[in-house]
Amino acid sequence: MLAWLHRLASPKRFHGLAGFFITWCGWGALVLFASGLYYSLFNSPPDYQQGESIRIMYIHVPAAWNSMFIYITMAIASLFVLVWRIKAAAAVARACAPLGAMFTFLALATGSLWGKPMWGAWWVWDARLTSELILLFLYLGFMALQSAIEDKDAAARAAGVLAIVGIINIPIIYYSVEWWNTLHQGATITLSEKPKMNTDMFISLILMSLAFKFYFVVAVLRKARNEMLEREQNSQWVKEMLGGSDERK
Amino acid sequence: MNDVTNIAKTTAIEPSLGRAFMAMLGRDLTLAYRHRAQLANPLVFFTIVVSLFPLGLNPDPDLLRTIAPGVIWVAALLAAMLSLDSIFRSDFDDGTLEQILLSPHPLSLLVLAKTLAHWLITGLPLLLLAPVLGGLLDMSGEALGVLMITGALGTPILSLIGSIGVALTVGLRSGGGGVLLSLLVLPLYIPVLIFAANAVGNAAGGFEVTGQLAILGSLLALSVGLAPLAAAAALRISLN
């Protein structure tokens, strides 16, 4: 199992595998974004209370889901770095942080745009907003620690410890609206029950969140693959791959 | 110093785990006692920060009573954070930390001893000073009692989480360690601040506080169990 894992994660295999996923998930993301945007902008009804502002939700909720999902991905990749010292996992964890910070910021910004007409304030110190803000700080801390340590392997492992310690915040964000009676509404969609929303709205939301997930896979693999190429630039397989194309020129 | 060299020398006749723990604790406390003047610094800082608020806002007792729990907890948080560097810094500088890493005992337990020493040196005095400052901010007796309980549960968490942050940054040569440390540690401190200040605020308003105290207690249990492990792993990375 371990030998298989290491073979799978060897820089060369990772490069090929990532290329495969980048192509297919890239097309998937394109199709999902096109259909998701069409559904959420034209083919779903306005909310009976919130009117057209409901459409902000189709960006806001997928971004918020992604912000937590990326953190978990980053922490799992960090675990692989710490336990098995897999270079590809280090590159993935490193690539996750700016993307996660971006989605967290997007969730906060769209929430703020929605909050102004609905709650009458750009920002409220509600439990879910505050814990999402902490998540943003955790991402920034991860990136700051990565860039502060010069040795890349040590940086990946040190930041990995931080990512795993910070994962305690994820359940706090997820359950914050149930634990505290706050302004932010509770979850409308759960795995166990029928969604408490209009079917067209539900389809739009699912399409958009899948599109966000596919986009994340493409972006993180592209970043990680480039970093692997840069780090492995003196190794044989990179030279062969790039050198071959040089000769043809 | 002697105790550590003893630990390193006597690998053949290993002292028991408990003795190693006590030796580490005793050594750190002795070192702190030899530099008594520095012990007061976090306390003075704590007092100054708290006293800035009545000066900067408004000395109205009603206002002060409302903001007191948050002000005291934020000031305690900052004071604890600024003193964190002392857990590992001097040992790292003179090479003792590498000797500690070579010891046959589990590193996480020795880290726990050092963290406990740090709490006894900084957290406990802050805890004892807090009700005095609370009194100056016109807090009620009941709120002061809850402030003490939240302090007893919360300040050890600050030392424990902080030990991870210091362990991660102690090897950095660039002078930005202090700012980076606060960037790493403060987000992890926020839950403690929220529950502790909320409990004290509720107590002042005559509401129930057991929920918040239970959460603080569970955070403490969690961090006693896990923070030394993470800090030990971080130290091994930092010293490599």
Residue B95: the pLDDT is 87
| Cβ-defined contact of B238 to A157 (cutoff 8 Å) | no
Residue A23: the pLDDT is 87
pLDDT, tens digit (0-9, with 9 covering 90-100), for B37-82: 888 889 999 999 999 998 988 888 888 888 888 899 999 999 998 8
Residues 152-191 of B with CB under 8 A from A: 161, 164, 168-169, 171-172, 174, 176, 180, 183-184, 186-188, 190-191
Q: How far apart (Å, rounded) are the C-alpha atoms in residues A218 and A25? A: 6
Instruction: Respond yes or no on whether ipTM tops 0.95.
Output: no
State yes or no: pLDDT of B12 exceeds 60: no
Q: How far apart (Å, rounded) are the C-alpha atoms in residues A144 and B32? A: 31
Range with the lowest mean pLDDT among A181-185, B65-69, B188-192, B203-207? A181-185
Residue A247: the pLDDT is 46
Count of other CB atoms within 10 angstroms of residue A5: 13
pLDDT, tens digit (0-9, with 9 covering 90-100), for A153-185: 889 999 999 999 988 878 877 777 666 655 677
The contacts found for A29-34 with CB under 8 angstroms, 24 or more apart, are A29/A211, A29/A214, A29/A215, A29/A217, A29/A218, A32/A207, A32/A208, A32/A210, A32/A211, A32/A214, A33/A208, A33/A211, A33/A215
| Cβ-defined contact of A137 to B169 (cutoff 8 Å) | no
A:B CB pairs within 8 Å: 58
Residues 109-128 of B with CB under 8 A from A: none
Chain length of chain A: 249
**H-state helical runs in chain A:** 2-8, 11-41, 57-84, 87-119, 127-148, 152-166, 169-179, 199-231, 236-248
DSSP annotation of A47 reads: B
Contacts A169 to B, Cβ<8 Å: 187, 191
Residue A248: the pLDDT is 43
Tokens, residue A226: 């480039």
Cα A187 to the center of its chain, rounded Å: 20
- For residue A194, give the 3-state DSSP assignment: coil
State yes or no: pLDDT of B7 exceeds 60: no
Residue B43: the pLDDT is 92
Bridge partners of B169, per DSSP, are: none
Rg (CA), chain B: 19
| Cβ-defined contact of A148 to B234 (cutoff 8 Å) | no
Rg (CA), chain A: 20
pLDDT, tens digit (0-9, with 9 covering 90-100), for A191-214: 566 666 777 788 888 899 999 999
Range with the lowest mean pLDDT among B90-94, B111-115, B173-177, B194-198? B173-177
Ranges of chain A whose pLDDT falls below 50: 247-249
Q: How far apart (Å, rounded) are the C-alpha atoms in residues B150 and B72? A: 11
What letters, b where the CB count within 10 A reaches 16 and e where it falls short, cover A149-180? beeeeebbbbbbbbbbbbbebbebbeebbeee
Residue A181: the pLDDT is 58
Q: How far apart (Å, rounded) are the C-alpha atoms in residues A40 and B66? A: 45
Please give the span between the terminal C-alpha atoms of chain B, in angstroms, as a whole number: 23
Binding-site residues on chain A for chain B (CB distance < 8 A): 82, 130, 134, 137-138, 140-141, 144-145, 148-149, 151, 154, 157-158, 161-162, 164-166, 168-169, 172
Mean pLDDT for B117-130 is: 93
Q: How far apart (Å, rounded) are the C-alpha atoms in residues A196 and B149? A: 43
Angle, CA of B221, B222 and B228, to the nearest 5° = 100
DSSP state letters, B76-116: HHHHHHHHGGGGTHHHHHTTHHHHHHHSSS-HHHHHHHHHH
| Cβ-defined contact of B168 to A166 (cutoff 8 Å) | no
What sign does the CA torsion over A136, A142, A147, A153 have?
Answer: negative
All structural domains of chain B with their residue ranges:
40-90+109-239
Contacts B174 to A, Cβ<8 Å: 148
Residue A187: the pLDDT is 67
| Cβ-defined contact of B180 to A148 (cutoff 8 Å) | yes
Q: Let me know if A244 is exposed, middle or buried by CB neighbors in 10 A (0-12, 13-18, 19+).
A: exposed
pTM for the predicted model, two decimal places: 0.84
Chain length of chain B: 240
Mean pLDDT for B99-113 is: 91
Residue A191: the pLDDT is 57
